[in-house]
Amino acid sequence: MSETLAADTILSVRDLKTWFVTRRVIAKAVDGVTFDLKRGETLAVVGESGSGKSVTSLSVMGLLSRPGRIEGGNILFRDRAGKVHDLATFGPADFRKIRGREIAMIFQEPMTSLNPLYTVGDQIGEMIALHEKVSREEKRKRALEMLKHVEIPDAASRLDDYPHQMSGGMRQRVMIAMALACNPSLLIADEPTTALDVTIQAQILDLLRRLQQQFGMSILFITHNLGVVAEIAHNVVVMYAGRVVEQAPVNDLFAHQRHPYTKGLLACTPNAGRDIDATGERRALYSIPGSVPPITALPPGCAFEPRCDFAIPPCKAAPPPLMPAGSDGFSRCIRSAEL
């Protein structure tokens, strides 16, 4: 495939297949995923645990562990110089050159990502030193600037703090500071607010929006929470059992869901207005019946069919293709026009 990208696109994942292969089984964790991320925008990848969203992000970052491997497809990325690379062909040495500098990642639980034996200032400075030749004084100065960017109060005094001396929200801000220390073009955020309470969650989302405008970066945002998606994303990819089942601009997706799984996810999201009936009583929160099937034992037809209220006999016959749905979206449902 030609390594070409549209002028406004920074990342294009095309028919990505990431499998975990052992002697006994082949687990197709990501099976034919395709999406584009435009420059300066946020694309949210949504789904339950086991849907393949985090494996997709790890594939982009080159952080897959054995027995995981990319079996097919392309991950086209445009660096800051404008050159397009196929990350699916990269080896460890290639990834070390761009990871942190061109593409950075923040994770769900910062306490497991930060080194408890080093101060936060040293850890931010080390990220800078990996990609740039800077003096010790310059590292410290840049680390302080980054702590100020992520709005940590009294940043100068917190520079020499260890991770355990900070709250969960502060540690997540430090992770964001580390990720942005070299001004990457693409930030991958894998469930960055899940471990935080609702108030801190809103602050982190607001911070990411402001930093995106300030640094001009694109964000690939991995989450299971559609409520978070409404706050930060421009476009949404919904994954289920390793495949994309719906894709649409965020406003279109919330106005009209074209796949039963997306409808179910949205119905599971608490809503103060929707959850109260005409008598003022609180309705029971909806839950999608069943669970995501094992990747190694998917049904022969639509993977969501055993849990779907809209399923009909043809849904059991063969996996449906991803088809155009709505004005600018796609759905992997043969009844999408009826929803």
What tens digit of pLDDT does each residue of 133-181 get? 889 999 999 999 999 999 999 999 999 999 999 998 999 999 999 999 9
Residue 331's H or E segment, with its range, is: strand 329-331
d(CA 5, CA 2): 9
pLDDT at 14: 97
Residue 327 pLDDT grade (very low, low, confident, very high; cuts 50, 70, 90):
confident
- Where b means 16+ CB within 10 Å and e means fewer, 167-180 reads eebbbbbbbbbbbb
> 99-118: per-residue pLDDT in tens?
999 999 998 777 788 999 99
Task: Specify whether the CB–CB gap between 176 and 208 falls below 8 A.
Answer: yes
Task: Specify whether the CB–CB gap between 64 and 58 falls below 8 A.
Answer: yes
d(CA 143, CA 162): 14
Please write down the long-range contacts of 2-8, taking CB distance under 8 Å and 24 or more positions apart. 3/74, 3/76, 3/84, 3/85, 3/86, 4/76, 4/84, 5/76, 5/78, 5/84, 6/36, 8/38, 8/39
Three-state DSSP class for residue 194: coil
327-334 mean pLDDT: 95
**What does each C-alpha distance from 128 to 125, 177, 211 come to in angstroms?**
5, 11, 18
pLDDT at 1: 42
d(CA 200, CA 222): 18
Whole-structure pTM value: 0.93
324 compared with 278, residue with greater pLDDT? 324
Residue 277 pLDDT grade (very low, low, confident, very high; cuts 50, 70, 90):
low
Decide if pLDDT at 56 tops 60.
yes
> In the CATH scheme, what architecture does the domain 9-102+184-338 have?
3-Layer(aba) Sandwich (3.40)
pLDDT at 179: 94
Residue indicated by tokens 């094992």: 294
> 310-324: per-residue pLDDT in tens?
999 999 999 999 999
292 compared with 20, residue with greater pLDDT? 20
For 235-297, the three-class secondary structure string (H helix, E strand, C coil) is EEEEEECCEEEEEEEHHHHHHCCCCHHHHHHHHCCCCCCCCECCCCCECCCCCCCCCCCCHHH
Break the chain into its structural domains and give their ranges.
9-102+184-338
200 compared with 46, residue with greater pLDDT? 46
- Where b means 16+ CB within 10 Å and e means fewer, 14-48 reads bebbbbbeeeeeebbbbbbbbbbbbbbbbbbbbbb
pLDDT at 237: 98
What value does the mean pLDDT of the chain take?
92
pLDDT at 269: 79
pLDDT at 104: 95
Query: 18 phi and psi, to 5 degrees?
Result: -115, 115
